[in-house]
């Protein structure tokens, strides 16, 4: 999570401690969704490179013959005291592809296509004095990619 540099320029590393599941259902965006059995990992992450190479993969050679599909990344966090009076945003160096960002169950933004950095302001969706959940839907099922 980082904030706009036009304010105070403070940021925090947000790459560690995400949960991942190789699928997507709408209920995964909910703040109280139980993701306790999901894999814990750090970003950056690319689930397709963990798959099996296949000449029948929907991505063909453009996707290195790797699997495609949908996935969900989730993270719980509290807003640090020093960032509570700032404009909070989350910065992604790139998501492939077609992402949607949810904070506490509400859609905060996203980006079609992929491989481009973007930032989504999340201040309006945060619980400043409690736990927050961010869920990132990634959809790489539309091919060719």
- 68-95 pLDDT, tens digit each: 889 999 999 999 888 888 889 999 999 9
User: Phi then psi for 50, rounded to 5 degrees?
Assistant: -85, -5
Instruction: Please answer whether residues 89 and 120 qualify as being in contact, where contact means their C-beta atoms are separated by less than 8 angstroms.
Output: yes
Task: List, for residues 84-141, the tens digit of each pLDDT value.
Answer: 888 899 999 999 889 999 999 999 999 998 889 999 999 999 998 999 999 999 998 8
Closest C-alpha to 18, from 47, 41, 48: 41
pTM of the model: 0.88
User: Phi then psi for 116, rounded to 5 degrees?
Assistant: -145, 140
How many other C-beta atoms can be found within 10 angstroms of the C-beta atom of residue 133?
A: 20
How many other C-beta atoms can be found within 10 angstroms of the C-beta atom of residue 83?
A: 20
pLDDT at 5: 38
- Give the long-range contacts of residues 104-108, CB within 8 A, separation 24 or more: 104/31, 104/132, 104/133, 105/29, 105/30, 105/31, 105/133, 107/29
How many other C-beta atoms can be found within 10 angstroms of the C-beta atom of residue 90?
A: 20
């Amino acid at each position: 999570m980082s904030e706009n540099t036009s304010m105070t320029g403070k940021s925090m590393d947000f790459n560690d401690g995400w949960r991942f599941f190789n699928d997507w259902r709408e209920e995964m965006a909910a703040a109280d969704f139980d993701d306790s059995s999901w894999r814990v990992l750090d970003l950056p992450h690319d689930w397709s490179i963990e798959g099996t190479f296949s000449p029948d993969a929907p991505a063909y050679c453009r996707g290195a013959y790797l699997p495609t599909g949908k996935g969900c990344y989730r993270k719980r966090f509290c807003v640090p005291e020093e960032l509570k009076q700032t404009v909070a945003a989350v910065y992604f160096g790139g998501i492939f592809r077609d992402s949607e960002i949810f904070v506490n169950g509400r859609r905060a933004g996203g980006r079609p296509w992929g491989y481009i950095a973007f930032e989504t302001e999340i201040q309006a969706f945060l619980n400043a004095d409690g736990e927050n959940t961010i869920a990132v839907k990634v959809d790489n099922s539309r091919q060719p990619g």
